[in-house]
């Protein structure tokens, strides 16, 4: 890895600070709140995502335009994302302007303004966003997949909510949710780059964050997988399909096995799925594998788009390739590991991605685990890959299709 000098401190109030002194011209300051859409109240789905939108709209002393201009006029970028188990905010900026990053990010986190008129305006923006995603089958296939795969778990709910649930969210809901979740012991501040006295800066900028209640967890209950198939018919040219399984959270050592399987099956143009189904047979344009692991849950999926008459044939071919992984060769395993090592090393050269990964690993057990990632991958034995593949890639899969029937 490019650096192994990561330092970590937890303040008295419970705020976790992770500092990775990477020698680059940029620095990224990232705040990760350990609450995402799974923490939404049942009748207010989309609340965590709504908060994310509102924090960029205005603070008690700055407009959204002033927040953005303070960073972008210096060539920097600021952005955010809401996941199932987290919400993160970051600023990436030239290191000479680090103070601006701390000033703006702390203002966003600590001093939001949930003005009723602004909430009403942003509510409509979010509803339009939800409808746009629903209209785009390439995006919506994954929404439907999660709804079907996690039928009895909060990961089933679309992160942005529904037009109906978002319509119910009020300014008071936002104030309450922010007060309950944006607390020191529920936040990670991840800083990557040459940032000097980071710990004192973080404590000065975010010292007003107080301790709150313990973050709830949402483990997936067994039985793990059952067969489910859903076809949402639409009059469009292509059919969009996702097929997959519940797996394990990142806290499990087995998660690294699924990284290896994703590499073998889905890496670029040399992965088995692309080679066998697109390159050799020309049955689709887009095909790939996705492996996602959070603190409480994980899933492995294969996605593809094709002409409707090819859906069932490609499904059979995908299942064949999944089954073959139970007979993976030592050479194929070595290639998969080499790819993962290179992919990881290249990703962690960039301060924003590195800050995200530090926060991800911290929430999943410890930021220091990121430094052991390549070692964990290299330690995955062939017999374990075969056992996990045989146990996981059964006929108890979830499959969704969005598009015309054949």
Note the pLDDT of residue 213: 81
Helix (H) or strand (E) holding 79: strand 77-82
Q: How confident is the model at residue 4 (pLDDT cuts 50, 70, 90)?
A: low
At 216 the pLDDT is: 74
Same fold, 7-206 and 228-402: yes
pLDDT by residue (tens digit) across 203-230?
999 999 999 887 777 777 765 789 999 9
CB atoms inside a 10 Å sphere around CB 392: 24
Q: Which helix (H) or strand (E) holds 29?
A: strand 26-33
The CATH architecture assigned to 228-402 reads 2-Layer Sandwich (3.30)
User: d(Cα 7, Cα 312) in Å, to the nearest integer?
Assistant: 51
Asked if residue 14 has pLDDT above 50, the reply is yes
- Residue pair 251/365 in contact by the 8 Å Cβ criterion: yes
**Greatest CA separation for the chain:** 62
pLDDT, position 1: 44
Cβ pair 338, 328 in contact under 8 A: no
Which is nearest to 138 in space by CA: 284, 313, 310?
284
Residue 2 has pLDDT above 70, yes or no: no
What is residue 222's predicted lDDT score, i.e. its pLDDT?
Answer: 61
pLDDT one-digit tens code per residue, 304-319: 999 999 999 999 999 9
Domain ranges of the chain: 7-206, 228-402
Q: What is the mean pLDDT of residues 72-88?
A: 98
The answer on pLDDT for 380 being more than 60 is yes
Distances (CA, A) of 305 to 239, 263, 289, 402: 6, 20, 13, 9
- Name the percent of the chain lying above pLDDT 90: 93
Q: Average per-residue pLDDT in the chain?
A: 96
Q: Does the domain made of 7-206 have the CATH classification 3.30.830.10?
A: yes
- Asked if pLDDT for residue 387 goes beyond 90, the answer is yes
Residue 225: predicted pLDDT:
87
Under 8 Å between Cβ of 11 and 79:
no
What pLDDT digit, counting tens, does each position of 135-188 carry?
999 999 999 999 999 998 999 999 999 999 999 999 999 999 999 999 999 999
Share of the chain above pLDDT 70, in %: 99
**Residue 82: its H or E element:** strand 77-82
Q: What is the pLDDT of residue 195?
A: 86
CA distance 312 to 289: 18
Long-range contacts, 362-367 (Cβ 8 Å, 24+): 362/8, 362/16, 362/18, 362/32, 362/188, 362/190, 363/32, 363/34, 363/85, 363/86, 363/188, 363/295, 364/249, 364/250, 364/251, 364/293, 364/294, 364/295, 365/250, 365/251, 367/6, 367/8, 367/18, 367/190
pLDDT digits (tens, 9 = 90+) for 329-362: 999 999 999 999 999 999 999 999 999 999 999 9
């Amino acid at each position: 890895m490019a650096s192994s000098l990561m330092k970590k401190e937890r303040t008295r109030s419970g705020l976790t600070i992770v500092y990775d002194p990477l020698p680059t011209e940029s620095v990224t300051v990232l705040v990760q709140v350990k609450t995402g859409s799974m923490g939404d109240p049942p009748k207010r789905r989309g609340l965590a995502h709504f908060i994310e939108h509102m924090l960029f709209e205005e603070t008690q002393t700055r407009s959204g335009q002033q927040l953005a201009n303070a960073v972008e006029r210096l060539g920097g970028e600021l952005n955010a994302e809401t996941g199932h188990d987290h919400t993160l905010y970051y600023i990436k900026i030239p290191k000479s302007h680090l103070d601006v990053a701390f000033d703006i990010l702390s203002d966003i986190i600590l001093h939001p303004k949930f003005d009723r008129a602004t909430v009403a305006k942003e509510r409509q923006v979010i509803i339009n966003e939800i409808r746009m995603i629903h209209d785009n089958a390439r995006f919506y296939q994954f929404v439907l997949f999660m709804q079907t795969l996690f039928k009895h778990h909060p990961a089933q709910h679309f992160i942005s909510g529904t037009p109906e649930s978002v319509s119910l969210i009020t300014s008071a809901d936002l104030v309450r949710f922010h007060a309950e979740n944006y607390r020191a012991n529920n936040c990670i501040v991840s800083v990557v780059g040459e940032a000097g006295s980071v710990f004192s800066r973080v404590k000065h900028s975010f010292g007003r964050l107080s301790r709150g209640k313990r973050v709830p967890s949402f483990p997936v209950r067994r039985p793990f997988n059952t067969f489910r198939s859903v076809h949402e018919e639409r009059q469009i040219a292509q059919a969009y399909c996702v097929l997959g399984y519940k797996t394990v959270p990142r806290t499990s050592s087995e998660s690294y096995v699924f990284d290896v399987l994703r590499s073998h099956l889905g890496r670029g143009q040399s992965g088995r799925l692309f080679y066998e189904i697109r390159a050799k047979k020309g049955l689709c344009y887009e095909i790939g594998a996705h492996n996602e692991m959070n603190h409480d849950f994980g899933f492995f999926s294969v996605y593809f788009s094709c002409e409707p008459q090819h859906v069932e044939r490609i499904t059979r071919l995908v299942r064949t390739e999944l089954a073959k992984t139970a007979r993976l060769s030592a050479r194929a395993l070595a290639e998969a590991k080499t790819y993962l090592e290179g992919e990881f090393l290249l990703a962690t050269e960039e301060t924003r991605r590195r800050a995200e990964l530090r926060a991800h690993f911290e929430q999943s057990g410890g930021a220091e685990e990121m430094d052991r990632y390549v070692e964990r991958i290299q330690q995955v034995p062939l017999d374990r890959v075969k056992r996990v593949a045989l146990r996981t890639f059964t006929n108890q899969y979830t499959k969704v299709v969005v598009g015309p029937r054949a």
